[in-house]
Amino acid sequence: MEIKVTLPHHSYLLQIQAGLLEQCGDWVKSLWAPQRIVIVTDENVQKLYGQKVLESVNAAGFEASLAVVPAGETSKNLAVAEELYEAFLTAGLTRSDGVIALGGGVIGDLAGFVASTYLRGLHFLQIPTTLLAQVDSSIGGKTAVNLKQGKNMVGTFSQPDGVLIDPLTLNTLEPRRVREGIAEIVKSAAIADLGLWNLLASFKDETELLEHAETVIAACCEVKRKVVEEDELDTGNRLKLNFGHTIGHGLEQVAGYGVCTHGEAVAIGMIQMNQVAEMKGLTAAGTTEKLKQMLQKFHLPIEWTPWEPEKLMAAMVHDKKASGDTVRIIQLKDIGEATIVKIPLSELGEYVNKV
């Protein structure tokens, strides 16, 4: 299955099919001329797929090497980015060479950021191996690293030359990582795709969802394609993808990166944001309960202990959706339809307090 992302200055294809990883060298050859390549991955993914991808890319006529970083959100920082710059130098990368991100969202964000800033930009490809990355972070060109003050505070917009999505990589994910991706799938359905929501509602659990992974992934990619094409630089409709993320990013930071995963934080953020909006009469009655039932069916959390409103607010004021004394939040009109609302920053506290 192919989905084309069409942008004014750069278009690319998402390839979605079981077994594609086995042919990744041919895929790279179809997109790039012979060149040096650094494949950025983490220690966990390297053990599973690193050598296979390296050999496939080299067999296709490239001069490729691996750069391996520790697994987890804590690697998404400027210190690890600097280590990758040095690895690129050691590999002799020039502006005509490329980088492949092989892994989850952390690797995609980190490798994309380093690729887009090293020598002012190298060629870049995404091979996402987690559900979260396949349905969300590998698409749309956002790259970033974290600062201690907040998530994704330093980054660029840099579109890849292509994205290869092989649902078979999901078979090696631990259940918590599968659920993390399901949170973003539920978000995509809630904001923009009632048909996807109804499909998710028909599944019994995570196992049944994975049996239909290709269909679900493609539906999420379509949601993201549409908003990215409308708003590449995240100033308008693309902000709808941030439903649950304003509180979610704050929770990730307060709890400690990796303690509460991104998907878990987004699930909790969606519930907290929506139940306050529903209490205010800004969201259709019953949407919070529908969200709760959907998330709990897939064994995702809907609350976090301890809940620390003051610390959350301190983290959230640095969020990229804030502008001056206002912040844009995402509210559901109903399941399948979202809207962007600008509120005073002082009012954000109402959405953090438990109701």
> For residue 122, how many C-alpha atoms fall within 13 Å in the half-sphere facing its CB?
28
211 carries a ligand binding annotation:
no
3-state helix, strand, coil in the chain (%, to 5): 55, 20, 25
Q: How many CB atoms lie within 10 A of CB 55?
A: 13
212 carries a ligand binding annotation:
no
172 carries a ligand binding annotation:
yes
Residue-wise over 62-100: b if at least 16 C-beta within 10 A, else e?
Answer: bebbbbbbebebebbbeebbeebeebbeebebeeebbbb
Q: According to the model, what pLDDT value does residue 316 have?
A: 86
Backbone phi, psi, residue 327, to 5° = -145, 145
Query: What is the token pair recorded at 186?
Result: 């539920």
281-309 pLDDT, tens digit per residue, is 999 999 999 999 999 999 999 999 999 99
d(CA 156, CA 237): 19
Choose among 218, 222, 215: nearest CA to 6: 222
d(CA 160, CA 183): 24
Strands (E) located in the chain: 2-5, 12-16, 36-42, 63-69, 98-103, 123-128, 142-147, 150-157, 163-165, 322-323, 326-334, 337-344
> For residue 134, how many C-alpha atoms fall within 13 Å in the half-sphere facing its CB?
28
Q: Do domains 2-170 and 175-351 have the same CATH topology?
A: no
Q: According to the model, what pLDDT value does residue 72 have?
A: 92
Q: What is the mean pLDDT of each run of 10 residues along the chain (355 residues)?
A: 95 97 97 98 98 98 98 96 98 98 97 98 97 96 93 95 98 95 98 98 97 97 96 91 94 92 96 96 96 98 95 81 79 96 91 86
106 carries a ligand binding annotation:
yes
6 carries a ligand binding annotation:
no
274 carries a ligand binding annotation:
no
262 carries a ligand binding annotation:
yes
Task: Please tell me whether residue 282 adopts helix, strand or coil conformation.
Answer: coil
Choose among 348, 146, 353: nearest CA to 253: 146
245 carries a ligand binding annotation:
yes
* Highest CATH level, class, for 175-351: mainly alpha
107 carries a ligand binding annotation:
yes
For the CA atoms of 66, 67, 71, 76, what is the dihedral angle to 10 degrees? -140
10 carries a ligand binding annotation:
no
Q: According to the model, what pLDDT value does residue 266 have?
A: 97
Question: Do 125 and 89 contact (CB within 8 A), yes or no?
Answer: no
Residue-wise over 282-320: b if at least 16 C-beta within 10 A, else e?
Answer: ebeeebbebbbebbebbebbbebeeebeebbbebbeebb
- With a CB cutoff of 8 Å and minimum separation 6, the contacts of 73 are 106, 146, 252, 257, 258, 262
Question: Do 19 and 52 contact (CB within 8 A), yes or no?
Answer: no
290 carries a ligand binding annotation:
no
CATH number of the 2-170 domain? 3.40.50.1970
Domain extent listing, the chain: 2-170, 175-351
170 carries a ligand binding annotation:
yes
Query: What is the token pair recorded at 119?
Result: 């020598």
169 carries a ligand binding annotation:
yes
Q: According to the model, what pLDDT value does residue 323 have?
A: 65
| DSSP β-ladder status, 142-147 and 150-157 | antiparallel
109 carries a ligand binding annotation:
yes
195 carries a ligand binding annotation:
no
Dihedral-angle region of residue 338 (phi above 0 means left; psi in -120 to 50 means alpha; beta otherwise)? beta
d(CA 128, CA 169): 9
Q: According to the model, what pLDDT value does residue 317 have?
A: 79
